[in-house]
Amino acid sequence: MSKRTGRDTRPRWKCPQSTWTVLTFSLPDWPNAARGALRNKLRALGFALLHDGIRISPRDLSQPAAALPDELEAPDGHVLRATHVPRGTGETPLRSIYDLDSLDQAYRDFLGAHRPAATRAPTGNPLVYRTQLMSEWLAFRDRDPELPEELLPEQWARPSAYALFIGLYDRLGPGAEARFGEVLARVDSSLAQVQGPSLSREGRRDRTHHVRGHDVSGDRHEAAPDGQARRDQR
């Protein structure tokens, strides 16, 4: 969990979800404005539209979804946990309800923008860059549905982008901490030695998570948590 942002940076995709959260309801008398607000709320929770009146999510949203039928005053609303059964052809129609192409391109754009910084000596203000890097990565948390691995396209760019994010964030750590100490020292010299968080400073014994049989960190290890950004399997 990020202390500065209050957001969780942990990758949740690496334990494939065998069950989906399914929300069904019918609201024929709702005005269009109310329907729009509802769509936004369901999207924010992580639900996608499967069919009219049926929303699904690969995440376990049982608790937040359980209150929705009563909140919506939809007595015929139901919340289910269901298993996805692929077609005999191997096709996965569920993939088509998510815009994975544009998301994959966004991950590739992230790689293109930040890969040069991972191979050269840090320049500029490392504290500013590190904060920017975290902000950009957190934006994916709101956009990525985090589908089970079997529904993802080949050459999915997210693992590489995540590995770059982890490595670069930690690499910028010493410089960012030094800069942060300088800023604090202007206020109170006793605070100058305060160290900022790292994604891999401690707990490297936990660096064992894999995606598609490969370690996502790119160095056969994955960053483990401290106070700033703990990671686990969802």
pLDDT attached to residue 4: 40
pLDDT attached to residue 40: 81
State the virtual CA torsion across 184, 188, 189, 194 in degrees, nearest 10: -50
Q: Kindly tell me if the per-residue pLDDT of 137 is higher than 90.
A: yes
pLDDT attached to residue 150: 79
Give the rounded distance of the alpha carbon of 115 from its chain centre.
Answer: 20
Give me the residues paired with residue 23 across strands.
Answer: 55, 79
Query: Sheet holding 78-83: strands in order across?
Result: 48-51, 54-57, 19-24, 78-83
pLDDT, tens only, 223-234: 333 334 333 333
pLDDT band at 194 (very low <50, low <70, confident <90, very high): low
Backbone angles phi, psi at 171, to 5 degrees: -65, -35
pLDDT band at 207 (very low <50, low <70, confident <90, very high): very low
Q: Kindly tell me if the per-residue pLDDT of 181 is higher than 90.
A: no
**Measuring CA to CA, which residue among 29, 27, 61 is closest to residue 145?**
61
The burial class, CB within 10 Å (0-12 / 13-18 / 19+), for 162 is buried
The 8 Å CB, 24+ separation contacts for 183-191 are 183/127
Looking up tokens 């709702």 gives 30
pLDDT, tens only, 10-39: 555 454 456 899 998 877 777 777 777 778
pTM value is 0.68
pLDDT attached to residue 104: 95
Compute the residue count for the chain.
234
* 19-94 is classed CATH 3.40.50: no
Q: Give start and end residues of each alpha helix (H) in the chain.
A: 32-45, 62-66, 68-71, 100-118, 126-143, 158-171, 173-187
* Average pLDDT of span 152-177: 92
Provide the 8-state DSSP code for 203: -
Most confident of the ranges 88-97, 197-206, 221-230: 88-97
* Average pLDDT of span 80-91: 77
pLDDT band at 6 (very low <50, low <70, confident <90, very high): very low
Q: Which pair of structure tokens corresponds to residue 156?
A: 């999915």
Q: Kindly tell me if the per-residue pLDDT of 218 is higher than 50.
A: no
Residues 6+ apart with CB under 8 A from 50: 22, 56, 94, 97
* Average pLDDT of span 100-104: 92
pLDDT attached to residue 7: 45
Question: Could you give the CA distance from residue 77 to residue 109 in angstroms, rounded to a whole number?
Answer: 40
What is the domain partition of the chain in residue ranges? 19-94, 98-215
